[in-house]
């Protein structure tokens, strides 16, 4: 990433008094963009792909940035108080994970002077520490350290509904009618679906505090609309929240046959697993 400064900004840096502020643009996986700044008022700025408002309400604090000249990944952490812009549910629900992040500085007295580019990369696993959010960001060079390849597993190696799967998951809209906790709730919906029909599927909230958070895998579905999840939500939903429930797949050969999609099954159930490799002789046991 080029860090060459333009004339007006270079002249400003050469002075003894600076009026700079940090700006962070986050382009989330759901297509929305969020801008935050450590300035004391909101700023509208166009980084080249559309002007957005950089909110001062978050009170962000970027850490020291680690920059390298080789193939080591640059990184930093951005922290700030949980609030209306960056909510606890959004952070814990994975809304900021894998977001495109660009950190830069501007002269807030002369926004047209250009930018000081500091780091561009991706947000890792965002977390909450007390009442503070933490967004770890690594530069694009980190992608060269990723292992890319196919995995041999007894289960199908592709996502249900992907281009390699070729199927389109069935889905319904629902509304929360009663809340048991962050692992279970009851919904109202249209239609009739037997017990277990949406097992191994996903729920994704479309309104309420959980809107925009990552889909959560569904463990058990009952015909009466009771939902039990595999993992807890970032927080318990509220009555009236809307969501989408998608049918899933167990990724086994039998499940693929039930969908009449066996030609696209990408698992290897016949390949011996580690349990076979670790077998040893037991006296008096033929091993059959």
62-90 confidence digits (pLDDT tens) = 766 666 555 566 778 888 888 888 888 99
What stretches of the chain show up as alpha helix (H) in DSSP? 7-13, 88-92, 253-258, 274-277
Q: pLDDT tens-digit profile of 277-287?
A: 777 777 877 65
In this prediction, residue 45 carries a pLDDT of 93
Residue-level pLDDT at 84: 82
Domain boundaries, the chain: 7-145, 171-247
- How confident is the model at residue 8, as a pLDDT? 79
Name which of 63, 87, 89, 61 is nearest 76 in CA terms: 63
pTM: 0.73
Q: What does the pLDDT read at residue 6?
A: 66
* 3-class state of residue 61 by DSSP: strand
What pLDDT score was predicted for residue 69?
A: 58
Low-confidence ranges of the chain (pLDDT < 70): 1-6, 63-73, 286-288
3-state secondary structure of 143: helix
What is the CATH number assigned to the segment(s) 171-247?
2.40.10
Give me the pLDDT at residue 249, please.
Answer: 93
Rg (CA), the chain: 25
179 CB burial (10 A radius; 0-12, 13-18, 19+): middle
Q: Which residue, chain included where needed, has tokens 């029909």?
A: 197
């Amino acid at each position: 990433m080029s860090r060459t400064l333009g004339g007006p900004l270079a002249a400003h840096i050469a002075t003894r008094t600076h009026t700079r502020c940090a700006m962070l643009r986050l382009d989330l996986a759901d297509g929305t963009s969020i801008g935050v700044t450590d300035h004391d008022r909101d700023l509208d700025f166009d980084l080249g792909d559309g002007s957005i408002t950089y909110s001062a309400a978050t009170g962000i604090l970027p850490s020291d940035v680690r920059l390298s000249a080789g193939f080591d990944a640059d990184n930093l952490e951005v922290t700030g108080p949980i609030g209306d812009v960056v909510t606890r549910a959004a952070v814990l629900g994975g809304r900021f994970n894998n977001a495109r992040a660009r950190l830069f500085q501007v002269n807030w007295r002369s926004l047209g002077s250009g930018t000081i580019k500091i780091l561009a990369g991706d947000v890792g696993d965002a977390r909450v520490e007390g009442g503070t959010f933490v967004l770890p960001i690594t530069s694009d060079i980190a992608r060269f350290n990723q292992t890319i390849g196919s995995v041999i597993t007894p289960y199908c190696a592709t996502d249900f509904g992907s281009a390699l799967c070729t199927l389109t998951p069935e889905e319904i809209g629902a509304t929360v009618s009663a809340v048991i906790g962050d692992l279970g709730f009851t919904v109202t919906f249209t239609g009739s679906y037997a017990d277990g029909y949406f097992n191994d599927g996903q729920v994704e909230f479309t309104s309420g505090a959980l809107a925009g958070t990552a889909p959560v895998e569904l463990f058990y579905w009952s015909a009466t609309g009771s939902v039990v999840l595999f993992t807890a939500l970032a927080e318990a939903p509220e009555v009236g929240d809307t969501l989408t429930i998608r049918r899933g797949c167990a990724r086994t050969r039998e499940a693929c046959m039930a969908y009449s999609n066996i030609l696209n099954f990408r698992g290897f159930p016949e390949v011996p697993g580690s349990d076979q490799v670790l077998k040893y002789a037991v006296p008096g046991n033929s091993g059959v």
